[in-house]
Amino acid sequence: MVKKIDTTLIDSCLKDARRSPRRRSHFNLHETLEAPVQRLCIALTEGTYVRPHRHPQPNKWELLIAVSGTSCLVTFDDEGNVKDHFTIDPSGPLTAVELPPNTWHTLFPKKQESVVLEIKEGPYTPNKPEYFADWAPEEGSEQANTYLQDLQKRLP
């Protein structure tokens, strides 16, 4: 079956994200969690907090491709200092970023909403508690929103 990422899918993902308490949604293009290549659309709406995390397995690189809107991908060192940040947008100048394994990172929409396509090697491996940064607040905590706002203010 041919799979398409079109305005209908983007609109549906964003609608789901707007209704979600997490302010984001995922749409898997891969058939199973055991698929050798994981492909998913991630819709992000303003205020979503993706706790900084990393994937320490040597095969867990991630490719993030802008599909709609503008997203900011931030990388950190082991102490939580910002190493770099990337603004990705389907109209460029930067449309995609590939992260090497074991890279601390977070992602958020630069404006109100965005959608990215994430591609990574499978099978799906759930994040263990130790994959999340202990220097960043837990998702859903009172401190998470403050952390996100402070991070966004520090970036151009």
pLDDT digits (tens, 9 = 90+) for 13-51: 999 999 999 999 999 999 999 999 999 999 999 999 999
Rounded Cα gap, residues 26 and 80, in angstroms: 26
Block means of pLDDT (10 residues each) for the chain, length 156 residues?
95 98 97 96 98 95 98 98 98 97 98 97 91 97 96 94
Question: Which pLDDT value is given to residue 156?
Answer: 83
The domains of the chain, with CATH numbers, are 7-154 (2.60.120.10)
Rounded Cα gap, residues 32 and 49, in angstroms: 26
Dihedral class, residue 80 (left if φ above 0, else alpha if ψ from -120 to 50, else beta)? left
The model's pTM is: 0.95
Question: Which pLDDT value is given to residue 127?
Answer: 87
pLDDT digits (tens, 9 = 90+) for 23-32: 999 999 999 9
Q: Please give the share of the chain, as a percent, with pLDDT higher than 90.
A: 96
Contacts of 72 (CB under 8 A, 6+ apart): 85, 86, 87, 88, 107, 108, 109, 110, 152, 155
Question: Which pLDDT value is given to residue 51?
Answer: 98
Question: Around Cβ 41, how many Cβ atoms within 10 Å?
Answer: 22
Q: Would you say 144 and 49 are in contact if contact means Cβ atoms under 8 Å apart?
A: yes
